[in-house]
Amino acid sequence: MDEMYPRALSERLRDNGIDATTAIELGLAGRSDSDLFAATVHDGYTLLTENVTDFAQIAAEHLSAGRHHPGVLVALSSRFSRRPAGIAPLAAAIHRIADQQLADRVTYLEAEPETESARRR
Q: 13-49, pLDDT tens digit by residue?
A: 999 999 999 999 999 999 999 999 999 999 999 999 9
Is residue 65 packed enough to be buried (19+ CB in 10 Å), middle (13-18) or exposed (0-12)? exposed
Instruction: Please name which of 52, 90, 91, 45 lies closest in space to residue 70, comparing C-alpha atoms.
Output: 45
Q: What radius of gyration, in Å, describes the C-alpha atoms of the chain?
A: 15
Average pLDDT of the chain? 91
Average pLDDT, stretch 67-91?
Answer: 94
Instruction: Please name which of 23, 102, 105 lies closest in space to residue 62, comparing C-alpha atoms.
Output: 105
Residues 6+ apart with CB under 8 A from 38: none
How far from chain centre, in Å, is Cα 46?
7
CB 1 within 8 A of CB 9: yes
> Would you state the pLDDT for residue 13?
96
Residues 6+ apart with CB under 8 A from 81: 89
pLDDT digits (tens, 9 = 90+) for 43-60: 999 999 999 999 999 999
